[in-house]
Amino acid sequence: MFKIKVADMVIDYTCHHESFFEHRLKEYIVKDKPSEMCMQYKLLDNITLPEHTVLKKVNDAFIGKVHKTGHLIMYLKSPKTGRIINCVEHNSDYTVNLACAVHHKPTEKVPLTDCDREYLRSGSLFNDRLIYAGGTTLHGSCIAFRGESVIFSAPSGTGKSTHTGLWKEIYGSEIQFVNDDKPALREKDGRIFSYGTPWSGKTELNTNIAVPLKAIVFIGRAAENTIKRISAAEAFCYLNDQTFPPFYDKELARKNLDFIEKLIKSVPVYKLDCNMTHDAARLSCETVFS
């Protein structure tokens, strides 16, 4: 079991792939701290569900309530065999979380290993608790520069990591990567802060720091570089698309929307249409920090 502190939350995590997580979590390990959340992940040959009542079905997922504990449970069945292939159980405030999965071989269509699946699921469990606690994670590449942070967000493949890489090439040691895929956001001391987390996508570009958030910049591809501050309505649409509220909990989805509203009121949001050149990075830097 690992005890880690991420975004000011102390978490007990019992994992399956210990060697992988020992490396990925090393910057976040703490001792002698009371935990506010526990996560457990099991890789099993077969999953046996506790006695429960099915409340609804959302797409292919079954949502139910466990008789003994009152916990909510979500699980998926194989469409071919009807076998349970994964299951998540949690209490009402997401402080207790149990995830189970059966072994899957990577395929050409879904090239995820069992370890990849645990990494993704553990990040999802953390995100659910973070939203419940009044924050969220944002899909983006977050850098710290001169005591503040900027998040560059866009759909996968647009070039957000490439853009922050250009900042690193220009400004060198002044740039520190907070998180290259899903930085955590929380309010602290009256400001929104970005936090490093160990869940940083395919890269290990993350740092265990908290930095006041200066701005959010949404990136689009263009031949010429232009940037403008966008309206609250535009910002809301962009932010809603790049956060991760759970489909199985409407109340948690509302909490995520509440945080987005707070974020828009607190932090300027820009739209950068750009090519992947140093000029684009200079333009975004001069605009955000002018």
- Per-residue pLDDT tens over the stretch 70-84: 999 999 999 889 999
Name which of 197, 236, 196, 199 is nearest 213 in CA terms.
196
pLDDT at 290 over 90: no
Q: Are 141 and 120 in contact (CB under 8 A)?
A: no
HSE of 64 in the Cβ direction (CA atoms, 13 Å)? 16
The dotted CATH code for 136-289 is 3.90.228.20
Q: Would you state the pLDDT for residue 101?
A: 97
**Interatomic CA distance for residues 90 and 227, integer angstroms:** 43
Adjacent-strand bridge partners of 88: 74, 99
Nearest to 41 by CA among 2, 6, 93: 2
Instruction: State the pLDDT confidence band at 17, using cuts at 50, 70 and 90.
Output: very high
Round the CA-based radius of gyration of the chain to a whole number and report it: 20
Q: For residue 127, which amino acid is it?
A: N
- pTM score, two decimals? 0.95
Rounded to 5°, the CA angle 259-264-267 comes to 110
pLDDT computed for residue 257 by the predictor: 97
Ranges for all domains in the chain classified under CATH 3.90.228.20: 136-289
Please list, in sequence order, all residues whose beta carbon lies within 8 angstroms of the beta carbon of residue 8, skipping any fewer than 6 positions away. Answer: 186, 188, 195, 210
**Averaged confidence pLDDT in the chain:** 96
- What is the pLDDT confidence band of residue 287, given thresholds at 50, 70 and 90? very high
Residues in contact with 268: Cβ distance below 8 Å, sequence separation at least 6, in sequence order:
215, 216, 229, 288
